[in-house]
Structure 1
């Protein structure tokens, strides 16, 4: 399925970009426009590896194709460096929403870690306020152009620092003012959610939802800790839950599997998986199965009945969009529009919103897909 020069593709004559989409796993500091990075870096006296936007986009793509999450995360040093002021954060957030709208997204949850954006003198609260201002500017601009989108903040704590409880309290304080949930990010292997149990206990007591990065750079034990210690309602990536699935027999398209107890729990409780196909290849998250998209266990998880969702993770690093991710999956696994609609319905049902608002999203998706 060819992706045109505008990043769009078509199935049965239908533009994938025009279809309504839900984005659940989308990092703010992973979706900064290269041209904006250059402009903000020049103003702040920050060195950049390339001074042309296209060349800088190429640099991000090269640096991100290491097959290592640790190396992949180093590319964020540059994006975070230009997001240390109120003006920088607001601009990046506004443009982030603009790009979501252009991609056909009608609801998104943008995750970021305020503790990484204090070097310019902002407080945690001021940083969140700056991002919220940009989000609202983007929403207002979309509405003025006849396009509606809603974007909520997922406030993330870095799993290798000791500020998780403080960040959890920050997230709850922004409840009903833009924050819809909590997340932990950063190096997964060696930093299980159990280290942050106090923060997750607090969130549970406040009935504030959490999604947890797990099953990307670490395996089944990390997912188990996310579910038990983190009370995760969704799994950030979660792709390595497939390690707990045993193939019994395989005859063409007929595959018989046996689920381990953890995989069975995740599937039967419909705990959503925030899968990010291109990113999962770049970080080596699917190395146990191969190194091309056809090796990704996405289709296995889908066919077995997991609540799979499709996400970009980091638009800049993966040089991608939700439209592109859907096109790649459709081309690789021969999915049709009904399959792509299922992924959006799964995401709508998993959104950290009241059930009435999730039902509204479901109706919008059904309408947009022609049901």
Structure 2
């Protein structure tokens, strides 16, 4: 029997729910004011405006083009102002604070160290600075009554030739807060198997990795990521829906790849708003997350780039509630899916599920 009255599911109350975020880019989540202040500090000349509200709107509009390539262009500005230790520390600290204030209790935030070397910082300096920023941000969040744990994922840019080097960096810092590895950047023309040496090395080192696959490119990208590279999770993975057939009478048929992904419980790091912006989905209402959730794939909900999409974990969940009619039980399911899929030890995952997530949703559900 319920012990109290359930809380209505609204954009405001969703902020109260404990959330888990697996796919969030550090250079895609800056505060507009921070971009302006960092640009001013280093004399960066390229910003389209120095008005905070206008700049925030510009990032969303520029990313809202329906093209992944155009979407990625917005990162020239954020990466351009993140080229020294102080900037990296500030951005990482504010990221942790912002996520915690939004109710995120565990987050894996990814970035590509190679993008921050323009002014001579070494890869080790970059990783150390980001880790220090997350340490400070976590402390500040706790002082404000918000508890969060942050792990980092180091990305290699798939169009470059530094994947093994970045994989070795991730392993070198895995006891200092680096949770795993990823490849990012344009999918078309740069299949996951170009980075096979990095994935073989990570396998040998018992290291965790995810792969951006099935966003701008289709099933072959997903198939290579899983079968050739051994990805534990799929970054986006939205195009797995291409291997699912829905008949006119509503019968659903999974192809062999889709069936394998579901049967093996391979997590899908789905980012609804971002997918609409890059053209991977026509709208939130048409997003494959609805069908994939119905079929009980291991679906997780994520932000991708909070600045470019003008979103948060709470707003992403609120959009799904609006368009698919989800309730607290569904949001709890997404959250537990994500926590089960985190690159964290089993005992630690279980503790967050049992001690934080389940009690948090039980209170909201009045049970």
Change (3 A) 1:369 1:58: same
The verdict on how the C-alpha distance between 1:197 and 1:12 changes in structure 2, with shifts beyond 3 A counting, is: closer
1:5 is matched with which residue?
A: none
Q: How far apart in 1 are the matches of 2:195 and 2:316?
A: 32
Closer, same or farther: CA 124–114 of 1 in aligned 2, 3 Å: same
Q: 1:10: Cα distance to partner?
A: 5.3
Cα distance, 1:229 vs. partner? 2.6
Q: Which residue of 1 aligns with 2:338?
A: 347
Q: Does 1:260 align with 2:267?
A: no
CA distance in 2, matches of 1:14, 1:239: 28
Alignment of 1:189-338 (within 5 A): 189-250=188-249, 255-286=250-281, 291-338=282-329
SS at structure 2 position matched to 1:180: strand
- Tell me which stretches of 4 or more aligned residues in structure 1 moved more than 6 Å: none
Q: How far 1:205 sits from its partner (Å)? A: 0.4
Task: State the alpha-carbon separation in 1 of the partners of residues 335 and 252 from structure 2.
Answer: 26
Give the superposition deviation at 1:200.
0.3
Partner residue, 1:3: none
Matched, 1:20 2:15: no
Deviation at 1:14, TM superposition (A): 7.4
CA apart distance, 1:217: 0.5
Tell me the TM-score normalized by structure 2: 0.95
Q: Alpha-carbon deviations, 1:237-266, whole Å to 9, x = none? A: 00000000011244xxxx321111100000
Q: CA deviation at 1:140?
A: 1.2
What secondary structure is seen at the aligned counterpart in 2 of 1:181? strand
Deviations 1:274-330 (A, max 9, x none): 0000000000112xxxx2211111110010110100000000000000000000000
Distance in 2 (CA, whole Å) between partners of 1:144 and 1:96 is 15
Question: Which structure ranks higher in relative contact order (CA pairs < 8 Å, sequence separation ≥ 6)?
Answer: 2
Structure 2 unmatched ranges of 5 or more: 1-6
Query: Is 1:368 the counterpart of 2:360 in the alignment?
Result: yes
- Which whole-Å CA distance do the structure 2 matches of 1:12 and 1:27 have between them? 26
Equivalent-residue separation in structure 2 for 1:328 and 1:61 (angstroms): 17
Give the Cα separation in 2 of the matches to 1:140 and 1:230: 37
Q: Which residue of 2 aligns with 1:44?
A: 42
User: CA contact under 8 A between 2:11 and 2:318: conserved in structure 1?
Assistant: no
CA contact (8 A) 2:240 2:258 kept: yes
Tell me the matched-pair count.
355
Distance 1:336 1:101 in 2: 22
Matches within 5 A, 1:52-63: 52-63=51-62
User: What secondary structure, in the 3-state scheme, does the structure 2 residue paired with 1:176 have?
Assistant: helix
Aligned residue for 2:4? none
Q: What is aligned with 2:3?
A: none
TM-score, with structure 1 as normaliser: 0.94
